[in-house]
Structure 1
Amino acid sequence: MTSIADEKELLDNSSFDSNTKTIHVLVALCDNKYQGIVPVPAKIGNGQDPANNLYWGCAYGIRSYFKNSSKWQLLKRFSIDSVKMERVVFKHKVSGYYLVADAYNGKNIKDCTVDFLQSCSGKMKDSLNVNGTSIGINGNAMLLSYIGHDGLMDFKLTEKFINTDGRSRDAIILACYSKNYFAPYLQQTRTRPLVWSTHLMSPEAYTLHDAIESYIKKEPAENIRSSAAKAYSKYQKCSEKAAKGLLVFGY
Protein backbone atom coordinates (compact mmCIF):
# COMPACT_ATOMS: atom_id res chain seq x y z
CA MET A 1 0.00 0.00 0.00
CA THR A 2 1.22 3.54 -0.69
CA SER A 3 1.72 6.28 1.85
CA ILE A 4 -0.62 9.23 2.46
CA ALA A 5 1.80 11.43 0.54
CA ASP A 6 1.64 9.05 -2.41
CA GLU A 7 -2.16 9.07 -2.26
CA LYS A 8 -2.25 12.86 -2.46
CA GLU A 9 0.12 12.75 -5.41
CA LEU A 10 -1.98 10.14 -7.20
CA LEU A 11 -5.20 12.07 -6.65
CA ASP A 12 -3.82 15.19 -8.33
CA ASN A 13 -6.42 16.34 -10.90
CA SER A 14 -4.22 18.62 -13.01
CA SER A 15 -3.71 18.25 -16.78
CA PHE A 16 -2.29 15.01 -18.11
CA ASP A 17 0.27 13.83 -20.65
CA SER A 18 -1.68 13.36 -23.89
CA ASN A 19 0.91 10.85 -25.09
CA THR A 20 -0.23 8.35 -22.45
CA LYS A 21 -3.09 5.91 -23.02
CA THR A 22 -5.36 4.85 -20.19
CA ILE A 23 -8.14 2.36 -19.57
CA HIS A 24 -10.34 3.17 -16.56
CA VAL A 25 -12.39 0.39 -14.97
CA LEU A 26 -15.16 1.17 -12.47
CA VAL A 27 -16.15 -1.84 -10.36
CA ALA A 28 -19.29 -1.97 -8.23
CA LEU A 29 -18.36 -4.48 -5.53
CA CYS A 30 -20.71 -7.45 -5.25
CA ASP A 31 -23.11 -6.83 -2.35
CA ASN A 32 -25.71 -9.25 -1.00
CA LYS A 33 -27.20 -6.62 1.30
CA TYR A 34 -27.51 -3.55 -0.90
CA GLN A 35 -27.96 -4.96 -4.42
CA GLY A 36 -30.78 -6.89 -6.04
CA ILE A 37 -28.70 -9.97 -6.74
CA VAL A 38 -29.05 -13.68 -6.19
CA PRO A 39 -27.05 -14.00 -2.96
CA VAL A 40 -23.52 -15.36 -3.18
CA PRO A 41 -21.55 -16.75 -0.19
CA ALA A 42 -21.38 -14.07 2.51
CA LYS A 43 -17.60 -13.63 2.46
CA ILE A 44 -17.42 -12.78 -1.24
CA GLY A 45 -20.69 -10.84 -1.24
CA ASN A 46 -19.69 -8.21 1.32
CA GLY A 47 -19.63 -4.97 -0.65
CA GLN A 48 -17.64 -3.22 2.07
CA ASP A 49 -14.75 -5.71 1.94
CA PRO A 50 -12.77 -5.30 -1.30
CA ALA A 51 -10.09 -7.81 -0.31
CA ASN A 52 -12.49 -10.75 -0.35
CA ASN A 53 -15.04 -9.48 -2.86
CA LEU A 54 -16.12 -11.59 -5.82
CA TYR A 55 -15.43 -8.80 -8.31
CA TRP A 56 -12.20 -7.50 -6.77
CA GLY A 57 -10.08 -9.60 -4.40
CA CYS A 58 -11.20 -13.09 -5.43
CA ALA A 59 -9.15 -14.98 -8.00
CA TYR A 60 -11.30 -13.80 -10.91
CA GLY A 61 -11.85 -10.33 -9.49
CA ILE A 62 -10.33 -7.34 -11.28
CA ARG A 63 -7.53 -6.61 -8.82
CA SER A 64 -6.37 -10.20 -8.38
CA TYR A 65 -6.70 -11.33 -11.99
CA PHE A 66 -4.77 -8.41 -13.46
CA LYS A 67 -2.19 -8.61 -10.67
CA ASN A 68 -1.56 -12.26 -11.56
CA SER A 69 -1.50 -11.60 -15.30
CA SER A 70 1.85 -11.87 -17.08
CA LYS A 71 0.74 -8.98 -19.30
CA TRP A 72 0.41 -6.32 -16.60
CA GLN A 73 2.57 -4.82 -13.85
CA LEU A 74 0.97 -3.49 -10.66
CA LEU A 75 2.31 0.02 -9.97
CA LYS A 76 0.09 1.37 -7.19
CA ARG A 77 -2.60 0.23 -4.79
CA PHE A 78 -4.26 2.55 -2.27
CA SER A 79 -7.50 3.53 -0.55
CA ILE A 80 -9.41 6.69 -1.46
CA ASP A 81 -12.55 7.02 0.69
CA SER A 82 -15.65 5.17 1.88
CA VAL A 83 -17.18 5.21 -1.62
CA LYS A 84 -14.13 4.41 -3.75
CA MET A 85 -12.70 1.91 -1.36
CA GLU A 86 -9.57 1.01 -3.29
CA ARG A 87 -7.73 1.97 -6.47
CA VAL A 88 -5.13 -0.04 -8.34
CA VAL A 89 -2.92 1.14 -11.19
CA PHE A 90 -1.35 -1.26 -13.68
CA LYS A 91 0.88 -0.77 -16.70
CA HIS A 92 0.86 -3.05 -19.73
CA LYS A 93 4.32 -4.54 -20.14
CA VAL A 94 4.39 -4.35 -23.94
CA SER A 95 2.23 -1.43 -25.06
CA GLY A 96 2.69 0.93 -22.11
CA TYR A 97 -1.07 1.37 -21.65
CA TYR A 98 -2.14 2.21 -18.11
CA LEU A 99 -5.12 0.55 -16.47
CA VAL A 100 -6.74 2.20 -13.46
CA ALA A 101 -9.43 0.28 -11.58
CA ASP A 102 -11.62 1.61 -8.78
CA ALA A 103 -13.52 -0.57 -6.30
CA TYR A 104 -16.78 1.16 -5.34
CA ASN A 105 -18.50 0.28 -2.08
CA GLY A 106 -21.33 -2.08 -3.01
CA LYS A 107 -23.97 0.13 -1.43
CA ASN A 108 -22.79 2.97 -3.69
CA ILE A 109 -23.52 1.13 -6.92
CA LYS A 110 -25.58 4.07 -8.15
CA ASP A 111 -22.60 6.41 -7.69
CA CYS A 112 -20.46 3.96 -9.65
CA THR A 113 -23.01 3.83 -12.47
CA VAL A 114 -23.37 7.61 -12.64
CA ASP A 115 -19.60 8.16 -12.55
CA PHE A 116 -19.17 5.68 -15.40
CA LEU A 117 -21.77 7.41 -17.57
CA GLN A 118 -20.53 10.90 -16.72
CA SER A 119 -17.04 9.77 -17.69
CA CYS A 120 -18.35 8.39 -20.98
CA SER A 121 -20.00 11.74 -21.70
CA GLY A 122 -16.86 13.73 -20.94
CA LYS A 123 -18.53 15.58 -18.08
CA MET A 124 -16.37 13.86 -15.46
CA LYS A 125 -12.66 14.12 -16.20
CA ASP A 126 -9.64 13.70 -14.01
CA SER A 127 -5.95 12.86 -14.05
CA LEU A 128 -3.61 10.80 -11.93
CA ASN A 129 0.08 11.24 -11.19
CA VAL A 130 1.79 7.87 -11.44
CA ASN A 131 5.49 7.87 -10.66
CA GLY A 132 5.92 11.33 -12.15
CA THR A 133 3.70 10.79 -15.19
CA SER A 134 0.26 12.40 -15.32
CA ILE A 135 -2.29 10.11 -16.96
CA GLY A 136 -5.91 10.78 -17.91
CA ILE A 137 -8.72 8.98 -16.09
CA ASN A 138 -12.52 9.07 -16.17
CA GLY A 139 -13.44 11.06 -19.29
CA ASN A 140 -9.76 11.51 -20.15
CA ALA A 141 -9.34 7.75 -20.58
CA MET A 142 -9.58 6.10 -24.00
CA LEU A 143 -11.57 3.09 -22.84
CA LEU A 144 -14.02 2.99 -19.94
CA SER A 145 -15.43 -0.14 -18.37
CA TYR A 146 -18.18 -0.87 -15.87
CA ILE A 147 -18.03 -4.18 -13.99
CA GLY A 148 -20.63 -5.54 -11.57
CA HIS A 149 -24.34 -5.96 -10.99
CA ASP A 150 -26.56 -4.04 -13.40
CA GLY A 151 -27.98 -1.53 -10.96
CA LEU A 152 -30.18 -0.06 -13.69
CA MET A 153 -32.37 -3.12 -13.20
CA ASP A 154 -33.10 -1.79 -9.69
CA PHE A 155 -33.12 2.00 -10.06
CA LYS A 156 -33.60 4.70 -12.67
CA LEU A 157 -31.35 7.68 -13.29
CA THR A 158 -32.70 11.21 -13.65
CA GLU A 159 -29.39 12.66 -14.83
CA LYS A 160 -28.68 13.42 -18.47
CA PHE A 161 -25.44 12.18 -19.97
CA ILE A 162 -25.12 14.29 -23.10
CA ASN A 163 -21.66 14.31 -24.67
CA THR A 164 -19.88 17.50 -23.61
CA ASP A 165 -16.71 17.60 -25.70
CA GLY A 166 -17.32 15.95 -29.07
CA ARG A 167 -15.06 12.99 -28.26
CA SER A 168 -16.23 9.43 -28.88
CA ARG A 169 -14.89 7.07 -26.23
CA ASP A 170 -14.94 3.28 -26.12
CA ALA A 171 -16.71 1.20 -23.48
CA ILE A 172 -16.98 -2.36 -22.19
CA ILE A 173 -19.90 -3.04 -19.85
CA LEU A 174 -19.91 -6.41 -18.13
CA ALA A 175 -23.19 -6.70 -16.23
CA CYS A 176 -26.42 -8.63 -16.76
CA TYR A 177 -28.50 -7.38 -19.70
CA SER A 178 -26.18 -4.38 -19.97
CA LYS A 179 -27.02 -3.62 -23.61
CA ASN A 180 -30.71 -3.32 -22.84
CA TYR A 181 -30.36 -1.20 -19.71
CA PHE A 182 -27.33 0.97 -20.54
CA ALA A 183 -28.08 1.71 -24.21
CA PRO A 184 -30.51 4.64 -23.66
CA TYR A 185 -27.91 6.42 -21.53
CA LEU A 186 -24.81 5.40 -23.47
CA GLN A 187 -26.20 6.63 -26.79
CA GLN A 188 -26.40 10.14 -25.35
CA THR A 189 -22.67 10.03 -24.60
CA ARG A 190 -21.65 9.04 -28.16
CA THR A 191 -19.61 6.20 -26.69
CA ARG A 192 -18.81 3.12 -28.79
CA PRO A 193 -19.84 -0.10 -26.99
CA LEU A 194 -17.20 -2.73 -27.73
CA VAL A 195 -18.56 -5.47 -25.46
CA TRP A 196 -21.80 -5.67 -23.50
CA SER A 197 -24.34 -8.36 -22.70
CA THR A 198 -27.75 -9.51 -23.87
CA HIS A 199 -28.61 -11.77 -20.90
CA LEU A 200 -27.53 -12.86 -17.44
CA MET A 201 -23.76 -13.13 -17.09
CA SER A 202 -20.84 -13.41 -14.70
CA PRO A 203 -18.80 -10.18 -14.93
CA GLU A 204 -15.45 -11.68 -13.99
CA ALA A 205 -12.09 -10.26 -15.01
CA TYR A 206 -10.92 -12.76 -17.64
CA THR A 207 -13.49 -11.44 -20.13
CA LEU A 208 -12.29 -7.86 -19.77
CA HIS A 209 -8.64 -8.91 -19.70
CA ASP A 210 -8.74 -10.68 -23.05
CA ALA A 211 -10.92 -8.04 -24.69
CA ILE A 212 -8.38 -5.41 -23.67
CA GLU A 213 -5.54 -7.40 -25.24
CA SER A 214 -7.32 -7.14 -28.59
CA TYR A 215 -8.16 -3.49 -27.98
CA ILE A 216 -4.54 -2.60 -27.30
CA LYS A 217 -3.57 -4.24 -30.59
CA LYS A 218 -6.08 -1.94 -32.33
CA GLU A 219 -8.14 -4.85 -33.59
CA PRO A 220 -11.68 -4.21 -34.90
CA ALA A 221 -14.69 -4.40 -32.59
CA GLU A 222 -15.65 -7.86 -33.86
CA ASN A 223 -12.25 -9.22 -32.81
CA ILE A 224 -12.46 -7.55 -29.42
CA ARG A 225 -15.89 -9.12 -28.87
CA SER A 226 -14.57 -12.49 -30.06
CA SER A 227 -11.67 -12.36 -27.61
CA ALA A 228 -14.10 -11.61 -24.80
CA ALA A 229 -16.39 -14.44 -25.87
CA LYS A 230 -13.55 -16.97 -26.11
CA ALA A 231 -12.45 -16.14 -22.57
CA TYR A 232 -16.01 -16.34 -21.28
CA SER A 233 -16.54 -19.66 -23.04
CA LYS A 234 -13.36 -21.10 -21.54
CA TYR A 235 -14.01 -20.11 -17.93
CA GLN A 236 -17.79 -20.52 -17.89
CA LYS A 237 -17.57 -23.82 -19.80
CA CYS A 238 -20.14 -22.85 -22.40
CA SER A 239 -19.89 -22.97 -26.19
CA GLU A 240 -18.21 -20.11 -27.99
CA LYS A 241 -21.39 -19.68 -30.01
CA ALA A 242 -23.39 -19.18 -26.82
CA ALA A 243 -20.79 -16.74 -25.50
CA LYS A 244 -20.96 -14.72 -28.73
CA GLY A 245 -24.74 -14.60 -28.39
CA LEU A 246 -24.31 -13.24 -24.88
CA LEU A 247 -21.48 -10.78 -25.51
CA VAL A 248 -22.11 -8.41 -28.40
CA PHE A 249 -20.84 -5.07 -29.71
CA GLY A 250 -22.43 -1.94 -31.14
CA TYR A 251 -25.97 -0.66 -30.79
Structure 2
Amino acid sequence: MLPLVLLSLLAVPPVAAVEVEVFVPLCDNALIECGRAPAGAPRALDTNLYWGAMYGAERFLSRAPGFKVVSREAGPVDSAVLRVLVLERKAAKGERPVRLRLHAYAGDRIDTALEDFLRAAAGASRADLVVWAGHDRLMDRAPPQVESPSVATPRPVVVLACMSEQYFGPVLKTLGASPVALTRTLMAPEAYLLEAMATTVARHGPTEATAMRAALVEAYARYQRISHRSASSVFSTPGPPPSGVAPR
Protein backbone atom coordinates (compact mmCIF):
# COMPACT_ATOMS: atom_id res chain seq x y z
CA MET A 1 0.00 0.00 0.00
CA LEU A 2 1.31 3.43 -0.91
CA PRO A 3 2.05 5.75 2.02
CA LEU A 4 -0.67 8.31 2.71
CA VAL A 5 1.70 11.20 1.94
CA LEU A 6 2.45 9.79 -1.51
CA LEU A 7 -1.24 9.20 -2.17
CA SER A 8 -2.02 12.79 -1.24
CA LEU A 9 0.67 14.05 -3.61
CA LEU A 10 -0.72 11.95 -6.44
CA ALA A 11 -4.15 13.42 -5.80
CA VAL A 12 -2.98 17.02 -6.22
CA PRO A 13 -4.14 18.33 -9.63
CA PRO A 14 -1.48 19.83 -11.92
CA VAL A 15 -1.05 23.59 -11.81
CA ALA A 16 -2.77 25.26 -14.75
CA ALA A 17 -0.45 26.95 -17.23
CA VAL A 18 -0.57 30.70 -17.67
CA GLU A 19 -1.82 31.31 -21.21
CA VAL A 20 -0.08 33.97 -23.32
CA GLU A 21 -1.22 34.92 -26.83
CA VAL A 22 1.37 36.69 -29.00
CA PHE A 23 0.75 38.54 -32.27
CA VAL A 24 3.87 38.80 -34.47
CA PRO A 25 3.50 40.67 -37.77
CA LEU A 26 6.55 39.81 -39.86
CA CYS A 27 8.92 42.64 -40.69
CA ASP A 28 8.21 44.24 -44.07
CA ASN A 29 10.84 46.28 -45.91
CA ALA A 30 8.01 48.16 -47.60
CA LEU A 31 7.12 49.69 -44.22
CA ILE A 32 10.38 49.90 -42.27
CA GLU A 33 14.05 49.08 -42.73
CA CYS A 34 14.36 45.43 -41.73
CA GLY A 35 17.84 44.84 -43.13
CA ARG A 36 18.72 42.69 -46.11
CA ALA A 37 15.95 41.57 -48.45
CA PRO A 38 15.32 38.15 -46.82
CA ALA A 39 14.94 39.76 -43.38
CA GLY A 40 12.25 42.08 -44.69
CA ALA A 41 10.41 39.69 -47.00
CA PRO A 42 6.93 39.90 -45.44
CA ARG A 43 6.02 36.23 -45.94
CA ALA A 44 9.41 34.54 -45.51
CA LEU A 45 9.06 32.69 -42.21
CA ASP A 46 12.52 31.12 -42.31
CA THR A 47 14.46 34.36 -42.81
CA ASN A 48 12.27 37.17 -41.51
CA LEU A 49 13.79 39.44 -38.88
CA TYR A 50 10.91 38.92 -36.44
CA TRP A 51 10.40 35.18 -36.97
CA GLY A 52 13.19 33.08 -38.47
CA ALA A 53 16.27 35.24 -37.88
CA MET A 54 18.61 34.75 -34.91
CA TYR A 55 16.42 36.73 -32.54
CA GLY A 56 13.17 36.00 -34.35
CA ALA A 57 10.29 34.56 -32.35
CA GLU A 58 10.27 30.96 -33.58
CA ARG A 59 13.99 30.43 -34.01
CA PHE A 60 14.97 31.94 -30.67
CA LEU A 61 12.21 30.57 -28.44
CA SER A 62 12.25 27.06 -29.92
CA ARG A 63 15.92 26.85 -28.86
CA ALA A 64 15.65 28.69 -25.55
CA PRO A 65 16.34 26.62 -22.40
CA GLY A 66 13.17 25.32 -20.78
CA PHE A 67 10.98 25.93 -23.85
CA LYS A 68 9.40 23.11 -25.84
CA VAL A 69 7.53 23.30 -29.14
CA VAL A 70 4.09 21.73 -28.67
CA SER A 71 2.72 22.31 -32.15
CA ARG A 72 3.49 24.16 -35.37
CA GLU A 73 0.65 24.61 -37.85
CA ALA A 74 0.28 26.54 -41.09
CA GLY A 75 -2.45 29.14 -41.24
CA PRO A 76 -5.50 28.61 -43.45
CA VAL A 77 -5.11 29.22 -47.18
CA ASP A 78 -5.40 32.94 -48.01
CA SER A 79 -5.28 33.79 -44.30
CA ALA A 80 -3.18 36.66 -42.96
CA VAL A 81 -1.78 34.14 -40.45
CA LEU A 82 1.12 32.18 -41.92
CA ARG A 83 1.82 29.97 -38.92
CA VAL A 84 0.60 29.29 -35.40
CA LEU A 85 3.32 28.13 -33.03
CA VAL A 86 2.56 26.80 -29.55
CA LEU A 87 5.35 26.51 -26.99
CA GLU A 88 5.46 25.61 -23.34
CA ARG A 89 7.92 26.87 -20.77
CA LYS A 90 8.61 24.26 -18.13
CA ALA A 91 8.06 25.45 -14.58
CA ALA A 92 10.95 25.39 -12.13
CA LYS A 93 10.32 25.13 -8.39
CA GLY A 94 8.00 27.90 -7.27
CA GLU A 95 6.97 28.78 -10.83
CA ARG A 96 3.90 28.14 -12.96
CA PRO A 97 4.11 26.61 -16.42
CA VAL A 98 3.58 29.08 -19.25
CA ARG A 99 1.98 28.25 -22.58
CA LEU A 100 2.58 30.65 -25.46
CA ARG A 101 0.54 30.71 -28.65
CA LEU A 102 2.29 32.79 -31.31
CA HIS A 103 0.55 33.95 -34.48
CA ALA A 104 2.91 34.80 -37.34
CA TYR A 105 1.13 37.30 -39.60
CA ALA A 106 2.27 38.17 -43.11
CA GLY A 107 3.96 41.55 -42.88
CA ASP A 108 1.87 42.87 -45.76
CA ARG A 109 -1.24 41.98 -43.74
CA ILE A 110 -0.18 43.89 -40.65
CA ASP A 111 -3.46 45.82 -40.56
CA THR A 112 -5.32 42.55 -40.06
CA ALA A 113 -2.87 41.61 -37.30
CA LEU A 114 -3.47 44.97 -35.63
CA GLU A 115 -7.24 44.57 -35.69
CA ASP A 116 -7.01 41.02 -34.35
CA PHE A 117 -4.66 42.11 -31.56
CA LEU A 118 -6.86 45.00 -30.47
CA ARG A 119 -9.92 42.77 -30.56
CA ALA A 120 -8.10 40.21 -28.41
CA ALA A 121 -7.01 42.92 -25.98
CA ALA A 122 -10.62 44.08 -25.72
CA GLY A 123 -11.65 40.63 -24.52
CA ALA A 124 -12.05 38.39 -27.57
CA SER A 125 -9.07 36.36 -26.31
CA ARG A 126 -9.29 34.26 -23.16
CA ALA A 127 -5.52 34.32 -22.66
CA ASP A 128 -4.13 35.61 -19.37
CA LEU A 129 -1.85 37.99 -21.29
CA VAL A 130 -2.06 39.35 -24.85
CA VAL A 131 1.13 40.54 -26.54
CA TRP A 132 2.09 42.49 -29.67
CA ALA A 133 5.70 42.05 -30.85
CA GLY A 134 6.55 43.88 -34.05
CA HIS A 135 6.36 47.17 -35.91
CA ASP A 136 4.23 49.91 -34.36
CA ARG A 137 1.67 50.21 -37.13
CA LEU A 138 -0.12 53.01 -35.28
CA MET A 139 2.84 55.26 -36.12
CA ASP A 140 1.71 55.01 -39.76
CA ARG A 141 -2.07 55.10 -39.61
CA ALA A 142 -5.09 55.98 -37.50
CA PRO A 143 -6.34 53.30 -35.10
CA PRO A 144 -8.87 50.91 -36.64
CA GLN A 145 -12.40 50.85 -35.32
CA VAL A 146 -12.62 47.82 -33.05
CA GLU A 147 -15.68 47.13 -30.95
CA SER A 148 -15.29 45.50 -27.56
CA PRO A 149 -17.14 42.17 -27.28
CA SER A 150 -20.45 42.62 -25.47
CA VAL A 151 -19.71 40.03 -22.79
CA ALA A 152 -15.96 39.92 -22.27
CA THR A 153 -13.23 41.05 -19.92
CA PRO A 154 -10.46 43.22 -21.42
CA ARG A 155 -7.08 41.58 -21.06
CA PRO A 156 -3.69 42.54 -19.62
CA VAL A 157 -1.40 43.46 -22.52
CA VAL A 158 2.25 43.93 -23.40
CA VAL A 159 3.19 45.92 -26.52
CA LEU A 160 6.77 45.43 -27.70
CA ALA A 161 6.97 48.03 -30.45
CA CYS A 162 8.49 51.47 -30.92
CA MET A 163 6.98 54.15 -28.68
CA SER A 164 3.98 52.01 -27.82
CA GLU A 165 3.03 54.09 -24.78
CA GLN A 166 2.37 57.06 -27.06
CA TYR A 167 0.65 55.23 -29.91
CA PHE A 168 -0.98 52.14 -28.37
CA GLY A 169 -1.59 53.51 -24.88
CA PRO A 170 -4.64 55.70 -25.65
CA VAL A 171 -6.21 53.01 -27.84
CA LEU A 172 -5.82 50.34 -25.16
CA LYS A 173 -7.33 52.69 -22.59
CA THR A 174 -10.38 53.18 -24.81
CA LEU A 175 -10.79 49.40 -25.06
CA GLY A 176 -10.44 48.95 -21.31
CA ALA A 177 -7.32 46.79 -21.65
CA SER A 178 -4.66 46.91 -18.92
CA PRO A 179 -1.09 47.62 -20.11
CA VAL A 180 1.53 45.67 -18.20
CA ALA A 181 4.51 46.82 -20.29
CA LEU A 182 4.84 49.53 -22.95
CA THR A 183 7.77 51.41 -24.49
CA ARG A 184 8.81 55.05 -24.74
CA THR A 185 11.44 55.04 -27.49
CA LEU A 186 12.41 53.34 -30.72
CA MET A 187 13.36 49.74 -29.98
CA ALA A 188 13.89 46.23 -31.36
CA PRO A 189 10.95 43.89 -30.54
CA GLU A 190 13.08 40.76 -30.52
CA ALA A 191 12.38 37.37 -28.98
CA TYR A 192 14.74 37.56 -26.01
CA LEU A 193 12.14 39.99 -24.64
CA LEU A 194 9.46 37.33 -25.06
CA GLU A 195 11.70 34.89 -23.17
CA ALA A 196 12.15 37.41 -20.33
CA MET A 197 8.42 38.09 -20.33
CA ALA A 198 7.57 34.38 -20.08
CA THR A 199 10.01 33.90 -17.21
CA THR A 200 8.45 36.82 -15.34
CA VAL A 201 4.95 35.45 -15.92
CA ALA A 202 6.06 32.06 -14.58
CA ARG A 203 7.45 33.60 -11.40
CA HIS A 204 5.11 36.51 -10.71
CA GLY A 205 1.98 36.06 -12.83
CA PRO A 206 0.90 38.02 -15.92
CA THR A 207 0.11 41.39 -14.32
CA GLU A 208 3.14 42.21 -12.16
CA ALA A 209 4.28 45.31 -14.05
CA THR A 210 7.31 46.20 -11.94
CA ALA A 211 8.85 42.74 -12.23
CA MET A 212 8.00 42.67 -15.94
CA ARG A 213 9.74 45.96 -16.63
CA ALA A 214 12.83 44.91 -14.66
CA ALA A 215 13.12 41.67 -16.66
CA LEU A 216 12.65 43.43 -20.00
CA VAL A 217 15.24 46.07 -19.13
CA GLU A 218 17.77 43.43 -18.08
CA ALA A 219 17.26 41.37 -21.25
CA TYR A 220 17.41 44.41 -23.52
CA ALA A 221 20.63 45.67 -21.94
CA ARG A 222 22.23 42.24 -22.27
CA TYR A 223 21.34 41.50 -25.88
CA GLN A 224 21.68 45.04 -27.21
CA ARG A 225 24.96 45.43 -25.30
CA ILE A 226 23.97 48.75 -23.81
CA SER A 227 23.98 50.08 -20.26
CA HIS A 228 21.19 49.30 -17.84
CA ARG A 229 20.41 53.01 -17.75
CA SER A 230 20.02 53.19 -21.53
CA ALA A 231 17.84 50.07 -21.59
CA SER A 232 15.74 51.46 -18.76
CA SER A 233 14.88 54.51 -20.87
CA VAL A 234 13.23 52.25 -23.46
CA PHE A 235 10.44 50.87 -21.26
CA SER A 236 7.64 52.86 -19.65
CA THR A 237 7.40 53.25 -15.91
CA PRO A 238 4.56 51.10 -14.56
CA GLY A 239 1.35 52.88 -13.68
CA PRO A 240 -1.27 51.75 -11.16
CA PRO A 241 -1.84 47.97 -10.98
CA PRO A 242 -4.34 46.69 -13.57
CA SER A 243 -7.89 46.64 -12.24
CA GLY A 244 -10.70 44.30 -13.15
CA VAL A 245 -8.39 41.61 -14.54
CA ALA A 246 -7.06 39.02 -12.15
CA PRO A 247 -4.47 36.39 -13.05
CA ARG A 248 -5.82 32.87 -13.11
What's the TM-score bracket when you normalise by the shorter of the two chains?
A: 0.7 to 0.9
- Return the letter of the residue paired with 1:51: D
For residues 249 and 87 of structure 1, the distance between their equivalents in structure 2, rounded to whole angstroms, comes to 32
- Return the letter of the residue paired with 1:43: P
| Count of aligned positions | 217
Q: Bigger radius of gyration, 1 or 2?
A: 2
* Contact 1:76/1:90 (8 A) holds in 2: yes
TM-score with structure 2 length normalisation? Answer: 0.82
For residues 130 and 187 of structure 2, the distance between their equivalents in structure 1, rounded to whole angstroms, comes to 19
**Are positions 1:118 and 2:119 aligned together?**
yes
Using the TM superposition, give the Cα deviation of residue 211 of structure 1 relative to its aligned residue in structure 2, in angstroms. Answer: 2.0
For structure 1, the residue ranges without an aligned partner over 5 or more in a row are 1-18, 125-138
For residues 97 and 194 of structure 2, the distance between their equivalents in structure 1, rounded to whole angstroms, comes to 18
Aligned 1:231-250 pairs, distance under 5 A = 231-250=219-238
Using the TM superposition, give the Cα deviation of residue 184 of structure 1 relative to its aligned residue in structure 2, in angstroms. Answer: 1.5
The 1:22/1:142 distance shift into structure 2, 3 A limit, reads same
**Are positions 1:217 and 2:203 aligned together?**
yes
Aligned 1:1-251 pairs, distance under 5 A = 19-33=16-30, 35=31, 37-81=32-76, 82-94=79-91, 95-122=96-123, 124=124, 139-162=125-148, 164-165=150-151, 167-218=153-204, 220-250=208-238
Spell out, residue by residue over 1:170-195, the C-alpha distance to the aligned partner (whole angstroms, 9 max, x if none): 11111111110001110122222122
For residues 75 and 232 of structure 1, the distance between their equivalents in structure 2, rounded to whole angstroms, comes to 27
For structure 2, the residue ranges without an aligned partner over 5 or more in a row are 1-15, 240-248
The 1:47/1:223 distance shift into structure 2, 3 A limit, reads same
For residues 39 and 24 of structure 1, the distance between their equivalents in structure 2, rounded to whole angstroms, comes to 24
Give RMSD over aligned pairs. Answer: 1.9
Runs of 4+ in 1 over 6 A off after TM superposition: none
TM-score with structure 1 length normalisation? Answer: 0.81
Calculate percent identity across the aligned residue pairs: 29
Name the SS of the counterpart of 2:43 in structure 1.
coil
